[in-house]
Amino acid sequence: MNRSGVAAVMMAVRGTVFRWVSEDIISTHYLTNRFTLQTQQRCGFRKVAKKVEPKKGVAEEAEQNEILHKKGVAPAPDPPTPHVPTRSFGRLVKPFVFTIGFTGCSFGGAAIWQYESLKSRVQSYFDDVKTDWMEKIRPQKQGDLRKQMNQWWNSLSDGQKTVTGIIAANALVFCCWRVPSLQRSMVKYFTSNPSSKTLCWPMLLSTFSHYSLFHMAANMYVLWSFSSSIVNMMGKEQFIALYLSAGVISTFVSYASKTAMGRFGPSLGASGAIMAVLAAVCTKMPEAKLAIIFLPMYTFTAGNALKAIVALDATGLILGWRFFDHAAHLGGALFGIWYIIYGHELIWKKREPLVKMWHDFRTRGPPGPGPGGNGSI
């Protein structure tokens, strides 16, 4: 593993990579009202402040209601009480089913994707040979931007090419957070909260959501640094399945933790999925040497770094630290460890029946005339 690439782990492993609980950086009230406040400040005059009337006593309020009743006027209704989320584990059934189904579909789709990639590899080889021959006889253009982009893209490793799409998706969602008209939809679908009416799709979409530029930059830098190692180890298809599944699983663990503790609030960030990638690499190569990017003279093994990370998140979960979503980090890390030790054998190596079924479906031709379907009479 490239030391300079992996060295980023301890820069963003604590305090930057981790999934941020948005109670401290984002709230629904702030998102929906901050633009109104800015508009009022531009007007040049203020609204008259409302006078706060003193609270009436019980006897005085009863007397006023009696007078209103004699006059035939209905008393004013009591103000509605704010909704307080209850700790109902029954609400977790639907997210649990979604987690199992999405994980299965992710790895099933990755198996079919790998089959199609292998099937088209021969055709791609001949296409590449033809392209190289055409490039030799075609006159070269100096300063061609497209050519420079192609050279840059071809210089990337398979892992870096794979995570480029993930980084682009995160950047797009980050820009959507800056659009005032999208604020309500972003809070609804791109933050995960067990007390929300929308539970399932935010488990996936919040994995691509960052409200802070520093949060997104740190997460994407670590993902970029570990991309070559994880893709060389698993292949791009299996890596994508692991990344997406880890995002959903870590969010479900966060749901369960918040429901058990009664501490509800929105969360967002890719840290749960990135923790799974980090844990998978450290579990597969525990003796690899890592270093802090700003302190390269201090090195330590990947195994020891993983133990420290898990211990720190477990401590934060037990003590109730609320600045980070420690449950999501811990869920992602444990899933990454479990997948390397057991999951690869239980899931990925048993994909052959599904691939065979897909192969039969792809190669099965239309039935011919006749009872046998082969054209005979």
pLDDT at 209: 93
Q: Are 252 and 331 in contact (CB under 8 A)?
A: yes
Residue 347 lies in a domain: yes
Q: Which residues pair with 21 in a beta bridge?
A: 267
Dihedral over Cα of 323, 325, 329, 334: its sign = positive
Q: Is 344 a catalytic residue?
A: no
Residue 194 lies in a domain: yes
* 57-93: pLDDT as tens digits: 555 655 666 665 555 555 555 554 444 455 677 889 9
- Identify the band that residue 375 occupies on the pLDDT scale cut at 50, 70 and 90: very low
Residue 205 lies in a domain: yes
What is the Cα–Cα distance from 252 to 50, expressed in whole angstroms? 44
Residue 219 lies in a domain: yes
Residue 6 lies in a domain: no
Residue 141 lies in a domain: no
Q: What is the DSSP string of 204-248?
A: HHGGG--SSHHHHHHHHHHHHHHHHHHHHHH-HHHHHHHHHHHHH
What is the Cα–Cα distance from 119 to 117, expressed in whole angstroms? 5
With b for 16 or more beta-carbon neighbours within 10 A and e for fewer, the 227-259 pattern comes to: bbbbbebbbbbbbbbbbbbbbbbbbbbbbbbbb
Domain encompassing residue 330: 89-124+167-363
Residue 324 lies in a domain: yes
How many domains is the chain partitioned into structurally? 1
Residue 225 lies in a domain: yes
* 291-311: pLDDT as tens digits: 776 777 788 888 898 999 899
What is the Cα–Cα distance from 1 to 230, expressed in whole angstroms? 10
Specify the higher pLDDT residue, 374 or 145: 145
Tell me the mean pLDDT in the region 355-367: 80
Residue from 210, 215, 326, 329 carrying the catalytic annotation: 329
Q: Is 185 a catalytic residue?
A: no
* 267-285: pLDDT as tens digits: 888 999 999 999 999 999 9
Residue from 22, 229, 271, 326 carrying the catalytic annotation: 271
What is the Cα–Cα distance from 211 to 73, expressed in whole angstroms? 50
**Does position 175 have pLDDT exceeding 70, yes or no?**
yes
pLDDT at 76: 53
Give SS3 for 299: strand
Phi, psi for residue 26 in degrees, rounded to 5? -155, 135
pLDDT at 186: 93
The CATH number for 292's domain is: 1.20.1540.10
- The structure tokens listed for 85 are 């989320």
- The structure tokens listed for 350 are 């048993």
**Does position 28 have pLDDT exceeding 70, yes or no?**
no
